Amino acid sequence: MADSRKKRTDRIGQLLFIGAQAAQALAAERLDPLGLSPRAWGVLSTLRESGPLTQIELATALSIDRTAMVYLVDELEEGGLVERLRNLQDRRSYLVTLTPKGKARRKKAASELSGQVEILLQPLSAVERRQLVELLTRIVDHWEELNAGAA
């Protein structure tokens, strides 16, 4: 078993990918009955945390292709979960904002997803969970710094 674990350290990207797939699968299972995808959940959560954003800002925040973001916002708008409002700072763009229905759906989804985290992180102690979050946050922050320099 120890030899198997040693080999895994050589493929950190694959481990991160498989972990992300597991989280996505569990999230999709919980979100599907609410008519949401994990990406739609990401939009609703980001808007809740950040307030209204342009589609470009949303796409950047969620690392989603801009064209895909247009379709995703269209879908959420058709469902009455978000609306586009003219951006008073830049009349050429629109801000995407949560509707009351979107706020309620996001809250319900958050409740459903709380169990998903427990399933995914069951093998980790509370200390290990905090460490995992801290380490992944450092990686993400570093990645964002690298990409900010490239932009």
What pTM, to 2 d.p., does this model score? 0.77
Determine whether 87 is exposed, middle or buried from the number of CB atoms within 10 Å of its CB (0-12, 13-18, 19+): middle
Q: How far apart are the first and last CA of the chain?
A: 44
Q: pLDDT, tens digit, for every residue of 30-43? A: 999 999 999 999 99
Give the tens place of pLDDT for each residue, 90-119.
888 899 999 999 999 999 999 989 888 889
In whole angstroms, give the CA distance from residue 103 to residue 82: 9
pLDDT at 3 over 70: no
Between CA 47 and CA 68 the distance in angstroms is 17
Q: Cα 91–97–103 angle (5° rounding)?
A: 170
Q: How would you classify residue 75: left for phi > 0, otherwise alpha for psi between -120 and 50, otherwise beta?
A: alpha
Judge whether 36 and 116 are in contact, CB under 8 Å.
Answer: no
